[in-house]
Structure 1
Amino acid sequence: MDANDAAEPLHGTDEEAIPVLRVADAAEAARWYARLGFAVQWEHRFERDLPAFVEVARGRVRLFLSEHTGDARPDTLVYLRVADVDAVAAEFGVPVEEAPWARETELRDPDGNRLRVGSPAP
């Protein structure tokens, strides 16, 4: 495989990495992520009373929220690059920090997962 092959879709599908975040209550977590502009795409349970596995998306950005023990660990850090970090910070009432590479803020979801949200520096 050369560098050009890496950019080509695999079997008609774009390649991507999708972080899996451990959550205690997927419905509660999905409501929290909705404040960041994410919407539920689908939910799966093997049976009605078993843990949920949910996909949320914001444009082309997707996250998996899993109630399954062992899928991921709380306190995971995900970096989310957005066009307007100030709008996110205003929604959550948190400050924006200036870094040489971006303007950033950090949030914690109800399960302790960390989201560092940033807009590239001009």
Structure 2
Amino acid sequence: MVEEVIPILRVENAAVAVAWYERLGFAQQWEHRFEPGFPAFVEVARSGVRLFLSEHTGDARPDTLLYLRVHDVDAVADEFGLRAEQMPWGAREFEVRDPDGNRLRVSTPGE
């Protein structure tokens, strides 16, 4: 087992959130509900990065900020009609909000 931290993000509608995170290159791994019609708890993954998306009230709060490093920030920014900016510390990055107000700062490190 590899030790890791997996952020949990609060989402209103897991299906909508999964579709949005797929635009960032994530894919749904699994979904759990205690019973049909109950809130969903979903895992999405991209390479070695995993996120939990939860419809459960109280699991997390909107307006969380995640920093996501990717190989090609420009390709990801294009998916959202945005442009990555060159930062003084060498990285290229942009910030986007998911449908639930969670913020993602997406970056490719400088060389």
TM-score band, normalised by shorter chain: over 0.9
State the distance in 2 between where 1:38 and 1:107 align. Answer: 15
Summarize the alignment of residues 40-119 of structure 1 with structure 2, pairs less than 5 Å apart.
40-99=28-87, 100-119=89-108
For residues 101 and 18 of structure 1, what CA distance do their matches in structure 2 show? 27
Match of 2:19 among 9, 25, 31: 31
Q: Distance in 1 between matches of 2:55 and 2:41?
A: 6
Task: Give % identity.
Answer: 71
Residues 26-67 of structure 1 deviation map (CA, whole Å, 9 limit, x = unaligned): 000000000111000000000101100000000110000000
Q: Which consecutive residues of structure 1, in runs of 5 or more, have no partner in the other structure?
A: 1-12
The two structures, once aligned, show a CA RMSD in angstroms of: 0.7
- Matched position secondary structure for 1:83: coil
TM-score, normalised relative to structure 2: 0.97
TM-score where L is the length of structure 1: 0.88
**Cα distance in 1, alignment partners of residues 105 and 55 from structure 2:** 22
Q: Which amino acid aligns with 1:31?
A: A
Distance 1:95 1:28 in 2: 24
1:24 deviates by: 0.1
Structure 1 partner of 2:109: 120
After TM superposition, which residue ranges in structure 1, 4 or more long, deviate above 4 angstroms? Answer: none
**Structure 2 residue runs without a partner (length 5+):** none
Q: Distance in 2 between matches of 1:60 and 1:39?
A: 12
